[in-house]
Amino acid sequence: MQRKKECVAMLLAGGQGSRLYALTNNIAKPAVAFGAKYRIIDFPLSNCVNSGIDTVGVLTQYEPLELNEYIGNGQPWDLDRSFGGVHILSPYQAKKKSSWYEGTANAIFQNMGFMKKYNPDYVLILSGDHIYKMNYAKMLRAHIETGAACTVAAIEVLPEEASRFGILNVNEDGSIYQFEEKPKRPKSNLASMGIYVFSADKLYKYLEEDDRDPNSEKDFGKNVLPAMLGAGEKMFSYRFEGYWKDVGTIPALWQSNMDLLGAEPAFDVGDASWKIHSRNPLAPPEYISETGKVDDSMVALGCEISGSVRRSVLSSNVTVEEGAIVSDSVIMSSAVIKKGAKIYYSVIDENVTVEENATVGAPKENAVGITVLGRNITVAKGASVPSGEIVDKDYKGE
Amino acid sequence: MANSAVGVIFSNIQDKNIPELSARRAIASVPFAGRYRLIDFALSNLVNAGITAVGIVTKNNYQSLIDHLGSGKDWDLARKDGGIILLPPYSNETDAPYTNRLEALKGITDFLRHRNEEYVVLCDGETVARLDVSDIVRFHEESQADITLVYHECHCTPSRYYMTVETDGDSRVTAVKINPKLGAGKEKLYINVMVVHREYLLNIIQNAVQSGFSSFGRDILSKNVDTMRIFGYRFDGYYAGMASLAAYFKANMEMLDKNVRDELFGARDIYTKVRDSAPSKYIEGAVVKNSLISDGCIIEGTVENSILFRGVKVGRGSVVRNSVLMQDTVIGALVKLDCVITDKNAVIRDGRQLCGCEELPYFVSKGKML
């Protein structure tokens, strides 16, 4: 008997995330740090394993080095399986033609061989840029029950934001009668989450047709889904209620980090029934010194805190020296905030050093915007980075 | 160095030192310093020296140890050749499980015979120190020693069973003493780490069995300082022995010293089992001073001079001072603790006040609700 998997997940992780500016200069968006110890990709990967899906293809293209290293053999997610498990799928050279991934649909099309190897009945398409907890098994069950060719996960968004999304217009039973990609006058506020379950044979069929169409942009939302609907395929929406956040912009990334704070957070990463798995830092517990103050914050292992930290999220091995202030900020791993330095309303990437008495940003109530410091840079002693600035080189200015 | 030595860790030779903590687990798997088990230090020392095969001698109550070690992957010891090899005791109607180190060694002769490394590094699972095992093995080779004993000069705290050594100017051990009377001065305390040639060790074991010896220290080391080349490797770094519950408490508190932390955790990694806990959360109004906080904690009250393990919760208005709270301890609201050790999953209900002292910390056993 041929071995098979009921469902294979394909995770689109090639995005550059250009609206994260300095944070994605050298890494792909799904590898961006989130919530003190996670990377964005931990969420869809953990959702997969928690939903019983143990075969995941991760499609990478933009700056894949760090993402590949992070995923490794998949062991932190229990995805080091002998049949199945996690596999990095990069664009490759083929005998007849070779090309970069041209769109979401083309990326999946180019990896048809990977999917077919597992002979799946269903394929789950995911993207690597959202923070959420979702049981894909429930969605798969709904897909099987309705007998749809494709099921699209959908969430209600604020009506004023609906025109930023792919909007689904649905009948009472949840079946989809129309797709509108970023409509000017949306008929509904039911947005596509970019999560699709396809019956495998239908997916192969429409991907092949899409590949032959020279006018197609090779995109699921713009081309493949409308084509399927046009051909009269049965398509259903699957309603998701709960926290779901696109962290593709600096303000959204910042806000989503803040949503983790408090005794009753908007989004709980400590939920034992739906663990978020990740690579864990090798570091001792964090140490808060005699002079340290930590209030309304999340702090990861290996931090040494002698200054004051308020309403902030600190990743592993961050040092906050005596007299330093960190407020309303997201600090990624191994940053050093020296004596008397002040960090307000900022996102600070890995390995940044802020020298003594430097100031980064302005208190949130007076700030123009979120200040961003890119990886590995140093802010000179006494220097002052204005609010809203995005810095990706050593900063010496006043 | 990589493949010239095999490690052996005794996981419960010293269980009786801290009966409170080792009643239901081997002493090697006693939680320590917020997110570790004692054995992590011995294991990491061996792994950081490039050793890829470690036999772990167990006797009883080793469920917690097995759970901690798993396949060994967290120490990079999930391997086809070697890796972590659990060595539970043999016993049948005539042979009871071992009662001393020599019998324990006798029980693992097959393991020792089938390895092909030249040396064996023998460690007790509860020794907390950052040892450079490569350097110890190099010392052993250079001194052409039969046996190298690692010692630490200190004012020792007497435990149930301890050994001191005397050495001459060439580091040769001239005397090995078992439970000597302790004066006011410093002693060269053997810290239960030893290097020996594998073949030589096998010979010792065989002779000991034939001669009916029962104590490795008394019958072999102390009686043969003239005939065997026994050398002492002096270790000057931080060392914590686990002689008693008070010593365990003191050692935890010493982790609040930055110099100790830097030495133990700074230069090379200490590996441990990963639990995928969320980062710790400090709720508005929390006050934390001079404390180590592990992941998964949620703190609403005040914590001072304390060690919090993974997943500890401290409720609103509670004050925790000078305490060691193990994994998943739940402290309700308005609780006051001073010099308290709680074992895993302990629950202290709202309004309780518990107080011990440094010499006699108040101990709350595993899963107990007060």
Q: Give the ipTM of the model, two decimals please.
A: 0.90
Domains of chain B, first to last: 2-265 (3.90.550.10), 281-364 (2.160.10.10)
Name every residue whose Cβ is closer than 8 Å to that of residue A235 and which is 6 or more positions away in sequence: A148, A149, A150, A151, A152, A175, A176, A225, A228, A229
A299/B282 Cβ within 8 A: yes
Is residue B281 less than 8 Å (CB to CB) from chain A?
Answer: yes
Cβ separation A294–B282 shorter than 8 A: yes
Nearest to B123 by CA among B194, B68, B52, B190: B194
**Lowest mean pLDDT across A94-103, B55-64, B274-283:** A94-103
A314 CA to chain B: closest CA distance, Å? 9
Other CB atoms within 10 A of residue A103 CB: 19
Q: Are A292 and B288 in contact (CB under 8 A)?
A: yes
Cα Rg of chain B, angstroms? 21
- Closest to B121 in 3D by CA, of B112, B113, B109, B129: B112
Q: Does A131 touch chain B (CB under 8 A)?
A: no
Q: What would the two tokens of residue B35 be? A: 């997110």
Residue B1 in this model has a pLDDT that exceeds 70 = no
**Residue in chain A lying closest to B298 (CA):** A263
Instruction: Judge: B289–A75 Cβ closer than 8 Å, yes or no.
Output: no
Residues in chain A within 8 Å Cβ distance of B330: none
In a 3-state reduction of DSSP, which class is residue B70?
coil
Q: What tens digit of pLDDT does each residue of B29-52 get?
A: 999 999 999 999 999 999 999 999
Pick the residue from chain B with its C-alpha nearest to A292.
Answer: B289
Percent of chain B residues past pLDDT 70, beyond the cut? 98
- pLDDT at site B94: 63
Q: pTM for the complete prediction?
A: 0.92
- In angstroms, the separation between the Cα of residue B310 and the nearest Cα of chain A is 9
Residue A194 near residue A124 (C-beta atoms within 8 A): no
Percent over 90 (pLDDT), chain B? 81
How does residue B182 score in pLDDT terms, banded at 50, 70 and 90?
A: confident
Chain A residues with CB under 8 Å of B302 CB are none
**Mutation for testing the A interface, residue in B265, B295, B298 having most A CBs under 10 Å:** B295
* pLDDT band at residue B103 under the 50/70/90 scheme: confident
**Is the Cα torsion angle A317, A322, A326, A327 positive or negative in sign?**
positive
Shortest Cα distance, chain B CAs vs residue A269, angstroms: 6
pLDDT for B141-170, tens place per residue? 999 999 999 999 998 877 888 999 999 999
Q: Does B161 touch chain A (CB under 8 A)?
A: no
Residues whose CB is less than 8 angstroms from the CB of residue A35 and which lie 6 or more positions away in sequence, other chains included: A131, A257, A260, A269, A298, A313, B278, B279
Q: Inter-chain contact A270–B282, Cβ cutoff 8 Å?
A: no
Query: Does the structure show a pLDDT above 70 at B95?
Result: no
The secondary structure of B287-327 as a DSSP string is: EEESEEE-TT-EE-SEEES-EE-TT-EE-TT-EEES-EE-T
What is residue A398's predicted lDDT score, i.e. its pLDDT?
Answer: 58
Cα–Cα distance, A352 to A334 (Å, whole number) = 7
Q: Which chain B residues contact residue A293 at CB under 8 A?
A: 287
* B209's tokens: 């069995």
To the nearest whole Å, the CA of A154 is away from the closest chain B CA by 28
Distance CA A46, CA A79 (A): 10
B298 touches chain A (CB under 8 A): yes
Residues of B within 8 A of A301 (CB-CB) are 35, 279, 294-295
pLDDT at B93 exceeding the cut of 80: no
A63-82, pLDDT tens digit by residue? 888 999 999 999 999 999 98
Quick one: pLDDT at residue B89?
83
Contacts of B70 in chain A (CB under 8 A): none
Q: Give the one of B261, B283, B300 whose C-beta lies nearest to A287's C-beta.
A: B261
Of A280, A287, A301, the CB nearest to B276: A280
| Strand B302-304 to A190-199 pairing | unpaired
- The verdict on B2 touching A (C-beta cutoff 8 Å) is no
Percent of chain A topping pLDDT 70 = 99
State how far residue A389 is from chain B, nearest Cα, in angstroms.
29
What are the tens digits of pLDDT across the range B227-263? Answer: 999 999 999 999 998 989 999 999 999 999 999 999 9
Angle, CA of A25, A29 and A30, to the nearest 5°: 140
Q: Is A126 on the interface with B (CB under 8 A)?
A: no
Instruction: Tell me how far apart the alpha carbons of residues A153 and A214 are, in angstroms, rounded to a whole number.
Output: 28
Residue B39 to residue B9: CA distance in whole angstroms: 8
In sequence order, what are the residues at sequence separation of 6 or more whose Cβ sits closer than 8 angstroms to the Cβ of residue B257? none
With beta carbons under 8 A apart, name residues in chain A contacting B307: 285
CA atoms of B120 and B194, how far apart (whole Å): 8
Q: How many CB atoms lie within 10 A of CB A69?
A: 10
pLDDT beneath 70, residues of chain A:
1-2, 398
pLDDT at B2 over 60: no
